[in-house]
Chain A
Amino acid sequence: MEHRSHPLHGVMGEFETPEQLLSAAKKARDAGYRHVDAYTPFPIEGLAHSIGFRWTAVPLITLIGGVGGGLTGFGLQYWCSAISYPINIAGRPLNSWPAFIPVTFELTVLGAAIFAVVGMLALNKLPEPYHPVFNVERFAAASTDRFFLVIESRDPKFDLAESSRFLQEASAKHVFEVKDEE
């Protein structure tokens, strides 16, 4: 049977402290790498920025959800009370908007919260049960006390030997090849 080599996802460097990882990430950026990701057991300030990730659409999506929820809430009440089934009670206004505020508010919050969470998951492309980084056995420590930097093979500057050496020089304790076995 013909030997079929797995495509390479990238090279992964393991670091012991967040500071080492942060400086390595900055060096990678300075060296011209553009497809880099870092994996850390807790969020590290400035890390996303130093791998070139600045803007997230989560707040905008949340705003859209909130505005949509609020409009739905008020629209629903207005339509039910003033259009679909208007009841004249001693000439009181059908569009009694102050009484519609609580439900409008609740649906604003509900819409914004659902959009925030679903938006965050969707932008992160979760759920995603398989990812090449999980093929590296040591990677389980990314959820305990180790910090990882991956230079991905789709980076135009990627070169297995060169990029591995780069990570070693950036004080990575171990360097692994990340195979994509799918």
Chain B
Amino acid sequence: MEFRDEERVFITGNEVVARAAQAAGAGYLFGYPITPQNEIMHHWRHIASQAGRGFLQTEDELSAGFATLGAVLTGKIAFSATAGPGTILFQEPLSMAEAMRLPLVIIVQQRGGPSTATVIYSQQEVTLTCFGGNGEGLRIVYSTSSHQELYDYTIKAFRNAWKYRFPAIVLGDGYQAKMREELILYDPSSRAGSRIPNEPIIGGEQVVHMQNAFSVEEELGEKLLIDLEDYNRAIPVLVEHEFLGGAGGRLLVVAHGIVGRAARQAVKELQARGDRVNFFRPITLRPFPEEHLVKACQQSGNAVLVAESAEGQLGRLVRLALADQVLTSFRSYYRPGLGITSEEILEEARL
């Protein structure tokens, strides 16, 4: 490893991602530039030349995605990074990864949408990353809210993609990508359970038959049953969340990613005033921490306020998770493509 066991740094989120991929042992990045993720490619190019890793700028995102799949098939830890319209193009390799159970890792730094829209910020790629493609969305999506989490969950994305053989996505945004913040880099190989089981998937003695096309409906049905069973079995170990508060609350504020920071601050201020407001932040958006959310909702008078920089993309996940619950109140603060401050959430959440 190029750094000591632990190193405190003050860098941008994009550099954090490149350093995390390096620490996780990634060998290759195939990518096509798009703001706000460009500096991931930029920093990785430096890492590639200094640490003997591979880097290729492909002609588009389709090519970047399929090249990553090719590397993964040979047992190489590989990844890509994209955003916005690039994430749309990525749906095809992502779908193939889901079909063939390939550990594709993508970092998505969300920008505004639809289409080209704004270059820096939104939370509008939740549905696309969680459920995009013509399948069931069998993938792992981590939504990070700090540079430390960007580092931790990028490493985790590699590990869990290879362990469970589902594509994994780290969902950031342009704020996280571009801002500088302190974090601790570490060598994950010094920590328990860190090994990435990246044996070659093809190319060994055995003939491997991998399918993403089926001639008979029943064949596909049987295969999907197995995949869904594997996915559902992994859910309890994959789901992660943050909860702040306790029983007897009157309202649960739910937010993810960078908006989670604004929401946490607002909730802390309300709690300091004696207002019994709780805070819930899903870290895995897929699979969604449904049971934990249900419990948090019950501790909060079955009343929920969802804040997000999108028009209900998180809100739908929340409502789905709470569908069997008797929600006495569901309110939303949707700001598609716009940042959300703690003051705004506080204003919405206060009595």
Chain A partners chain B: no
Identify the A interface with B (CB < 8 A).
Answer: none
